[in-house]
Amino acid sequence: MKLRCPRCEKKLSIADKYAGRAIRCPACNRGFTVPKLEQAAGPAAEIDLAGLAALEAGTQQLSDEERELIEAQAAAGESTEPGVRVCPSCGAKTKSADTSVEILCSHCWRAIPATTGGGLGAKKIKKAVEIGAFSKGGFYSEIGNAVSYPLSAFSSIMTAALWAFLAGVVPVVFITGASNVMTFSNVGTSREGEAADLSSIPAILTMIFSAEIIFFAAVAIHSFFDIVRSTGIGEDGAPKLSWAPATLSKSVVSYLVLLAYLGVSIYVVGFLTIDFDMIETALSGDMGRFLKAGTPFFVGVAIVVFLVPMQLIGMSLGNVGQAMNVLNVAKSIGKTHVHYVFLVLLLAVFGSLFVGGFGGLLFSWFIPQVSEMVEGSGKGALGKVAVALLAWGVVMACFFYGSYILARMHGLFVRSFRKKLMFGTD
């Protein structure tokens, strides 16, 4: 009978005696079960007698151990589709051509174990194990390399910078070109000599920047969770940025819930420790009044902020409910105690350096470029617009680079202390 290997799609001629039995494909060396004769009946089941001898020589029946492995994989729901893995936790399918590496489920973000070695006879499974904090690949051993971690996703980061540039320059060039064409078409008419109206370009660029900030923030939030998960299972290659809105939505909603939680928590702290209304004071612009709020207020805010890294880890490994559960967060911090304090201090130092450097880039270089861009765009000076948008692309690249480093630090913490964290389904 004729059929195709479900793994590599190679067309095979199978002897009838193998019907209903497990064999190896001579092309890809992967095992599969040959359908019974009654299942293979029909035009596609005609026997190619000329190919039987070659098949007999190139294909050997699986051993009992290999057959047991196939049956175990089938019982666990492993897909027979080529390049597809089935998550043992939720049953969802995730594309992955290489079965020798552990991957993350695209649905529940739990680890899908890898079958190491060549051929289907390899039974050793790579588990997601906890790596010692001081061991090779652990938290303290790898934290110094976090700065170079984004380099493995450099092409993806530069793609983001390119999109940031093109999203602004393309509409500006189009509008400017269309306006100049209209000006040229007025030659010989009563409107000859009128300058092209480019007054709408600054407003359009403002809308583009606003939309890009929102969208790129969503991309950064999702990549943060993605990096924490992948680093946590031992992956050292930085994942690429994801641009699909449907993929980003869950991460963004989780992050917005966290922001709302922080806002409410800080308001409660202020309500209990200060004698003025925080919202009213903030809206009035009298921010200096907060500096006189007193020690109890700052201690309360410090406690709320101290929990944030663990809550972000909780969202990466579990769900919003687990991350917002103060008991889960407190237990996780208690079990990691000194190590978590070190993580928070490390994030505070790097965060200050990153915010300072990013702020300097933003205010000393980019914003002055924007001022010239607004003036130039209204006059059709595309050079000034292009320089400012190029600066915008560089700013976005630096933003993603820094976010990769922050996420990597959280992920390394997860890698070494995963068993002590009260998040996820394990």
Domain residue extents for the chain: 2-126, 139-420
What distance in Å separates the CA atoms of residue 379 and residue 175, rounded to the nearest whole number? 12
pLDDT of amino acid 45: 42
Instruction: Give me the chain's average pLDDT, please.
Output: 75
| Residue 100 token pair | 């020798």
Question: What torsion do the CA atoms of 246, 247, 252, 257 make, to the nearest 10 degrees?
Answer: 90
Q: Count Cβ atoms below 10 Å from residue 298 Cβ, excluding itself.
A: 14
Mean pLDDT of the region 214-229: 90
pTM confidence score: 0.65
pLDDT of amino acid 25: 75
Helix (H) or strand (E) holding 85: strand 84-86
| Residue 72 token pair | 């175990």
Specify the higher pLDDT residue, 340 or 244.
340
Query: 88 pLDDT band (50/70/90 cuts)?
Result: confident
Cβ within 8 Å of residue 113, ≥6 positions away:
88, 102, 125, 126, 127, 128
Task: Look at strands 84-86 and 93-95 and give their pairing.
Answer: antiparallel
Q: How many Cα atoms sit within 13 Å of 410 on the Cβ side?
A: 27
pLDDT of amino acid 121: 34
pLDDT of amino acid 338: 94
Q: How many Cα atoms sit within 13 Å of 231 on the Cβ side?
A: 32
Length of the chain, please? 426
Q: Residue 41 pLDDT > 70, yes or no? A: no
Q: Count Cβ atoms below 10 Å from residue 154 Cβ, excluding itself.
A: 13
Query: 173 pLDDT band (50/70/90 cuts)?
Result: low
Mean pLDDT of the region 27-40: 67
Mean pLDDT of the region 7-32: 73
173-203 burial, b at 16+ Cβ within 10 Å, e below that, comes to: eebbeebeeebeeeeeeeeeeeebebeebbe
pLDDT digits (tens, 9 = 90+) for 175-208: 666 555 555 555 555 555 555 555 666 677 677 7
List phi, psi (to 5°) of 285: 85, 5
pLDDT of amino acid 19: 80
Specify the higher pLDDT residue, 145 or 97.
145
Mean pLDDT of the region 120-143: 65
pLDDT digits (tens, 9 = 90+) for 236-281: 888 888 888 888 888 889 899 999 999 999 999 988 998 888 888 8
Cβ within 8 Å of residue 232, ≥6 positions away:
128, 316, 317, 411, 414, 415, 418
What distance in Å separates the CA atoms of residue 154 and residue 159, rounded to the nearest whole number? 8
pLDDT digits (tens, 9 = 90+) for 346-393: 999 988 888 887 777 767 766 666 656 555 554 555 566 677 778 788
Q: Residue 120 pLDDT > 50, yes or no? A: no
Residue type, position 69, single letter: L
pLDDT of amino acid 4: 77
Q: Do residues 48 and 56 lie in contact, with contact meaning Cβ atoms separated by under 8 Å?
A: no
pLDDT of amino acid 263: 92
Query: 18 pLDDT band (50/70/90 cuts)?
Result: confident
**Nearest of 94, 62, 65 to residue 81 by alpha carbon:** 94
Lowest mean pLDDT among 117-131, 277-291, 381-395: 117-131
Query: 133 pLDDT band (50/70/90 cuts)?
Result: confident
Mean pLDDT of the region 107-119: 54
Mean pLDDT of the region 104-129: 49
Query: 413 pLDDT band (50/70/90 cuts)?
Result: very high
Strand intervals (E) in 260-394: none
Q: Residue 51 pLDDT > 80, yes or no? A: no
3-state helix, strand, coil in the chain (%, to 5): 65, 5, 30
Q: Residue 47 pLDDT > 70, yes or no? A: no
**Nearest of 256, 6, 222, 234 to residue 106 by alpha carbon:** 222
Specify the higher pLDDT residue, 168 or 258.
258
pLDDT of amino acid 262: 92
Lowest mean pLDDT among 113-117, 291-295, 401-405: 113-117
pLDDT of amino acid 409: 95
Q: Count Cβ atoms below 10 Å from residue 314 Cβ, excluding itself.
A: 26
Lowest mean pLDDT among 49-58, 93-102, 182-191, 317-326: 49-58
Q: Residue 46 pLDDT > 50, yes or no? A: no
Mean pLDDT of the region 133-162: 90
Mean pLDDT of the region 37-57: 47
State percent of the chain over pLDDT 90.
24
| Residue 180 token pair | 């100049």
Query: 124 pLDDT band (50/70/90 cuts)?
Result: very low
